[in-house]
Amino acid sequence: MTEGFHDNAAVIRFLTTDPADVGCEQTMELLHVYADLVLAGEYPEAHLPGIAAHLRDCNPCAEDLQGLLAPVGWPLDRSAAGVGVY
Ligand SMILES: [Zn+2]
């Protein structure tokens, strides 16, 4: 009998997090690239699916993306940015 496995917080986090999610660090590194794709009318989710997955789960990162898009007049519409709708 396996004991303690499903009580492990890391396992629970793994099971509840999108496996494509690249995490905050990589998202921060590539967020300007993601923003450029949004502004270029490309499909950021197709190019950077791991970041799109992260932005759906991480509010601080999603807000940073909005911060990159807002100054250039991009409407603060999460669905348009490929971030999903809450
Ligand atoms: Zn994040």
Domain boundaries along the sequence of the chain? 20-86
CA of 3 to the centre of ligand 1 (A): 32
Q: Residue 76: its pLDDT value, please?
A: 54
CA of 1 to the centre of ligand 1 (A): 36
- 27: CA distance to ligand 1 center in Å? 7
**36 CA to centre of ligand 1 in angstroms:** 18
HSE-CB for 1 with a 13 A CA cutoff: 2
pLDDT tens over the chain, length 86 residues:
555 555 676 665 656 667 789 999 999 999 999 999 998 989 999 999 999 999 999 999 999 999 998 876 665 555 555 554 43
DSSP 35-61: HHHHHTT--HHHH-HHHHHHHHH-HHH
Q: Provide the whole-model pTM.
A: 0.66
